[in-house]
Structure 1
Amino acid sequence: MKVGELRPGMLLAQAVRDVNGRLLMGEGTCLTERFLGVLKAWGIAEVAVQGEKTCSLADAGDGLPESLAARAQEICAVRLSRCDLANPVVQDVFHLAVARVGHLLEKGAPLVPPTLAKPGDEGSDLAPLDMEQLATEDLPMDAMPEVLARLAQIMENPSASPAEAADIIQCDPGLAAKLLKMVNSPLYGFPQRIDTISRAVTIIGVQQLSALALGVTVMGVFRSIPKNLLDTRQFWLHSLACACGARALASALGLPNTERYFVGGLLHDVGQLFFFLHVPERARLVLAQVRATGESLQSAERRCLGADHGQAGGTLLAAWQLPASLVQAAACHHDPLAAPAPQDATIVHVADFIAEALHFGSNGQSVLAPLNTAALGMLHVPPGVAAQVAARIEEQLGQLESIFLGGS
């Protein structure tokens, strides 16, 4: 159908891309006046629509005041415009997002629909970064706490004893205290207080507690990033939400060692921090472009930096000789089917999508990257899993924020 003949409420039957193949709107997007304007601005002549069908997501936000529901729907429609809204899980996330955004608006949160515009060419003339060199020379292993390498070895050694793990963790009193706070939190819900690392290792497991300790240790490496460059609290809040969501999703799928997925979620965006440590002005340019145009974070990073934050994070964690599951989760969380063993990366990918869609913190993305529905299909998720994961994040995020971020 010609763009001039479209009306608000129509549903796209196929994804819309620009002349360079860049995804503008996903299949199933409910057209609004804003989206019609975007199609005209990009010079799109025709699109495929599902006849005269009214958007099936129009009831999102039931229970909210009508004006709030309309504003929340508009915000979420733009933020999820690159997603396949015909997919049942994406539809569930859309409904959850509208409800949460509506409540945030009710509390006075300054949320508005992201700007959609053609990306410029800023940064395209800059030399691409040499990720291997930066990872091995600019932030060498000897800059890391010694405990990191030892924890990585424990995680990969199924015969490691609880005493070995406890000895390593107890070498860092701050780390030990944070882990004890965590295992005594509602995240685990143990009926009796756990007072020692030795007991925590025995109850939770050697690999499991070592994985948590490793994640906490890596967080500490990036504490020096200035807040005027990046809202690090919002960044880590999003990472904690992703971690919590990944753990909940793994649990819903009946997978063992869910702490591994928690740490994969916690560290999935570490490549962004790596950029802000080494090329802060270029990293700031990337975020400015993303916020001004709605361009995907990965696309802006590749243009301005020569690599995206997934590639950067994977390269960094590999240089630190961390377990392959964590390397792949970081490297492939936006393209999980590219991972040699895609399950871990897919779980983090889905949790990342839910956390970002529902405004649990932010990594700076204004319009979300699409959920990879092919990878999602490989997980065989049960019905209602998005609501289950979102509920777990909402229940536990405040406590995790207190433990990990305190008053920072």
Structure 2
Amino acid sequence: MMQRVPLALLRAGMVLAEPLRRRDGALMLPAGLALTERHLELFPVWSIEAAVVETADGPPCDAAPPVSPDDPPPDGEALDAARELLAARFIHADLALAPTAVLFELALPRAAALFAAHGPSALALPCPLPEASRPPQPEAPPPGPMSVIESDPKLTSLPDVFVRINEVLNDPNSTAREAAEAIGKDASLSTKLLKLVNSAFYGFPVKVDTLSRAVTIVGSRQLTTLALGISVIALFKDLPGGLVDMRSFWKHSIACGVVASTLAGPEAGGEVERLFVAGLLHDMGRLVLYRNLPRHAAYVLDTARREGMLLREAERAWLGFDHAMLAGMLLRKWRFPESLEKAVRHHHGGLAHMSMPMPATVHVADAVAGALGLGSSGEIYAPPLSPTAWGVVGLAPERLADVAAASTAHIEEITRAFLPDEA
């Protein structure tokens, strides 16, 4: 037997009796698939209102859905004060744009809670350093982006495991066994990958305890792409102190990857993993700057805060290039897939690049993560959202609440898995 079940009554473990399609007819999930918690989280994002599932002789959905009490609304005074302080962080974002206005309202309850718990200082923009403590403007002009890359041995002489994984990914004839063997040479990387595959982000109903099984379930090229992206994290463990909080940096990067994957949905196929890795690495250029040009980076950070500029605009003004260009050039040197390199290089791109699906999706994900305060790579303002990119993503503004809800728990879980030893 089969039964059409409304969204509120769907449960993990139910099996689809018919293919699940969006209103526009796009196939989302095939018949015969057992639903997972991850699917249920994404259904509101896809505007799924019901599904036809297999049933036993009796109706399976006669119980009421579980009820969780809503959090109490913020105090009115705290809410008003938080709104005013939060507006200062959105000065570069167009609140007349519907999705930006929705993101502001989504950020407001957390801002009000911070205000109520810690006062105005929790929301105030960081003050510029006193003039006497201001980083001096470097006397020498900055080198070009490729010179920065080539001056760093860690970026040019990569670990053997990184090189081998890249070779497998770029070889169309590589096998699943070769992928598992390449990844398995790094125990830390293997552990992180298995934690990700077993997280609620993927929502597999049984534990995946070996790399060979992970390759079979996730896909050889998809898992290799994930491995390549995750392996980059280990390259940036020796940055000068005081420029960036590394846990906050990677939390923002992971948030961008998770949101990008959520925005894409399963119809993107193997691109879901590439979007996650593009989000994970989208601000990597800043880490290169922090390590290799610390004096220039410190001056740029201070200038951006002192003059109320977006950090990327300060980078362009004082360095002649920004972190996105630098990261894109590095990924090209590393022979990353071209679509991934372009998504990173152009996530702050102009009109033409915002018309491309992967850069547009990473751009929107970065805007969501920045607006909601999910970590930071150094930027203190909510980034502006490109209307063109938003149009390419094709999401109704009111669905952003579902995207945020479907992403937040996974961001914390993946951050703990990737950075278990970080404070």
**TM bracket, shorter-chain basis:** 0.7 to 0.9
**Equivalent residue, structure 1, for 2:61:** none
Alignment of 1:156-235 (within 5 A): 156-235=170-249
Rounded to whole Å, the distance in 1 between the matches of 2:165 and 2:99 is: 36
Q: 1:189 to 1:171 in 2, by over 3 A?
A: same
What amino acid is aligned across from residue 255 of structure 1 in structure 2? Answer: A
CA deviation vs aligned residue, 1:221-257 (integer Å, no higher than 9, x gap):
11111333321111111111111111111117x3222
Deviates further, 161-170 or 138-147? 138-147
| Aligned mate of 2:87, from 69, 73, 77 | 77
Rounded to whole Å, the distance in 2 between the matches of 1:203 and 1:269 is: 29
| Structure 1 position 293, deviation (Å) | 3.0
CA contact 2:285–2:327 (8 Å) conserved in 1: yes
Percent of matched pairs sharing the same residue? 36
Indicate whether 1:111 and 2:122 are aligned. Answer: yes
**Equivalent residue, structure 2, for 1:344:** 358
Indicate whether 1:88 and 2:98 are aligned. Answer: yes
Indicate whether 1:249 and 2:260 are aligned. Answer: no
CA contact 2:102–2:397 (8 Å) conserved in 1: no
What amino acid is aligned across from residue 123 of structure 2 in structure 1? Answer: V
Give 3-state SS (helix, strand or coil) of 1:371's partner.
Answer: coil
CA deviation vs aligned residue, 1:248-300 (integer Å, no higher than 9, x gap):
11117x32221111000000000000001111111111112223332111121
Give 3-state SS (helix, strand or coil) of 2:113's partner.
Answer: helix
5+ long unaligned stretches in structure 2: 1-70, 129-133
CA contact 1:115–1:293 (8 Å) conserved in 2: no
**Equivalent residue, structure 2, for 1:309:** 323
Rounded to whole Å, the distance in 2 between the matches of 1:112 and 1:91 is: 18
| Structure 1 position 157, deviation (Å) | 4.3
Rounded to whole Å, the distance in 2 between the matches of 1:259 and 1:106 is: 39
| Structure 1 position 316, deviation (Å) | 1.2
Indicate whether 1:398 and 2:412 are aligned. Answer: yes
CA contact 1:74–1:113 (8 Å) conserved in 2: no
What amino acid is aligned across from residue 99 of structure 2 in structure 1? Answer: V
Q: Please, what is the CA RMSD of the aligned residues?
A: 2.6
CA contact 1:123–1:304 (8 Å) conserved in 2: no
CA contact 2:127–2:305 (8 Å) conserved in 1: no
5+ long unaligned stretches in structure 1: 1-60
Q: 1:141 to 1:273 in 2, by over 3 A?
A: closer
What amino acid is aligned across from residue 263 of structure 1 in structure 2? Answer: V
CA contact 2:327–2:345 (8 Å) conserved in 1: yes
Give the structure-1-normalised TM-score: 0.78
Equivalences, count? 345
What amino acid is aligned across from residue 234 of structure 1 in structure 2? Answer: S
Give 3-state SS (helix, strand or coil) of 1:190's partner.
Answer: coil
CA contact 2:114–2:123 (8 Å) conserved in 1: no
| Aligned mate of 2:391, from 377, 384, 408 | 377
CA contact 1:123–1:303 (8 Å) conserved in 2: no
Give the structure-2-normalised TM-score: 0.75
Q: 1:147 to 1:235 in 2, by over 3 A?
A: same
| Structure 1 position 382, deviation (Å) | 3.5
| Structure 1 position 381, deviation (Å) | 1.7
CA deviation vs aligned residue, 1:274-331 (integer Å, no higher than 9, x gap):
0011111111111122233321111211222221111111111111111112211221
What amino acid is aligned across from residue 189 of structure 1 in structure 2? Answer: G
Indicate whether 1:289 and 2:295 are aligned. Answer: no
Rounded to whole Å, the distance in 2 between the matches of 1:193 and 1:115 is: 44
**Equivalent residue, structure 1, for 2:374:** 360
Rounded to whole Å, the distance in 2 between the matches of 1:191 and 1:232 is: 33
